A and B are shown apart, each in its own frame.
Chain A
């Protein structure tokens, strides 16, 4: 299961437009910072887990990390293309 590689956003209104080609792995640069934040927040996460354990929500935040990663990977192939005479909006995730 691989995450998407690029997101292409194109917005045009009349003669003005913006086209954005963004390689998504560029966010991997932030990964060390995210890991560091994760380590710092571990005591908070454990406290929240213990507090909400009886209500059944204890492990949900940890499980959610994996589920949201799978959701992010599933975005590959998403295409939204709206084309009118005056406007173009196109979002494509490859």
Chain B
């Protein structure tokens, strides 16, 4: 975040300026060529795009003999993306039918609201996901993205 941007946000937080004024100031910054975070780009950590979803299960050191299973699963993220894109085969008429069935079950949800861009953003956000669980038997379950 650049110094000027931080200053504007601090003034907004301190109620010295309104949100409209903050928006106009940020827009003016953009027009002068200084975008949010531009001056800090050299310090920015490059965003890593996830390639694989990994699930590993490793037994604990003191795990009983029947709990010595090791599981290692690696799923390419491109497989998940391509699977999601299969929904483009569904014609629009079918969505009406799906919405009707969901409404009959009491679920007020429009399937058309699920957009490919949102799902891509969700998958990109997975790069920061890490789940680490240690069970009572000492098994360690990790779900992460690399």
Chain A residues within 8 Å of B, Cβ to Cβ? 55-57, 60, 63-64, 67, 70-71, 74-85
Contacting pair A75 B86 (CB below 8 A): no
- Tally of contacts, chain A with chain B, CB under 8 A: 62
The verdict on B94 contacting chain A, using a C-beta distance below 8 Å, is yes
CA distance A46 to B42 in the complex (A): 57
B29 to chain A, nearest CB (A): 41
User: Which of the 9-residue segments B13-21, B30-38, B62-70, B101-109 touches chain A?
Assistant: B62-70
CA distance A36 to B29 in the complex (A): 63
Q: Mark B52-92, 1 if CB is under 8 A from A, else 0.
A: 10000000000001001111111110110111011011011
Partner of A85, one of B68, B74, B85, B86: B68
CA distance A71 to B52 in the complex (A): 15
Contacting pair B71 A81 (CB below 8 A): yes
A63 surroundings in chain B (CB, below 8 A): 88-89
Closest to B95 in A: A56
B95 to chain A, nearest CB (A): 9
Closest to A85 in B: B68
Closest to A67 in B: B86
Contacting pair B79 A75 (CB below 8 A): yes
B71 surroundings in chain A (CB, below 8 A): 81-83
